[in-house]
Amino acid sequence: MGLNSIFLKMGISDKLAGDMSLFLVLVAISLMFGMFVGRFRLANILINVYIAVAILMVIPENFLNLYANSNLLLFLLLLTVLTIIGDSLFDIHIPSSGSGFFGRLVVMSFLEVGLIFSVIISMVPSDKLLEYVSQNMYQYFASPSARIFWMTAPLVFLFFINRKSK
């Protein structure tokens, strides 16, 4: 006997019974997920969800339309990869030990400013922006491939500099 039929026997409408069943299943999955993952990893997974969504937002639609549900598969793949490397990625600091601290700081700062600039100019209509910047500069920051680069490069760099320091 399913949850839906229990609610139906109580005189609840079919749609509301389905909604209540789904809600109870989500609560049960949430409790199991929280117990399995633990409180420390929950924050990392939340950040990973935001990162995966942000990366999907900059990937051109023609790349995502290759297969049915390819955006869903890519989201799950990104979330899984980010969660697996999360311990290395989200020991969030730029290591100051050893030589090269200033270089790591400069590169990370450049990548973050590039990301911010890419997001900003991607939001400005191209005809207005091209009055102030060259077509090449626009392509370096606002083309679909450039947007993918600026979204992923800081994460990849952060992963590698944190990995070296451990």
> Are 57 and 110 found together in one domain?
yes
pLDDT digits (tens, 9 = 90+) for 74-96: 888 998 898 888 766 665 555 55
Dist. CA 140–CA 138, nearest whole Å: 5
CA dihedral for 117, 118, 120, 126, sign (positive or negative): positive
Residue type, 94: I
> Are 79 and 127 found together in one domain?
yes
> Are 93 and 157 found together in one domain?
yes
> Are 131 and 86 found together in one domain?
yes
> Are 70 and 28 found together in one domain?
no
> Are 77 and 157 found together in one domain?
yes
**Tokens at 141, concatenated:** 């920051």
| Residues spanned by the domain of 151 | 38-165
pLDDT digits (tens, 9 = 90+) for 114-153: 887 887 788 778 888 888 888 888 888 889 899 889 888 8
**Tokens at 98, concatenated:** 């050893």
> Are 87 and 153 found together in one domain?
yes
> Are 6 and 68 found together in one domain?
no
Question: Quick check: pTM over 0.85?
Answer: no
Number of domains within the chain: 2
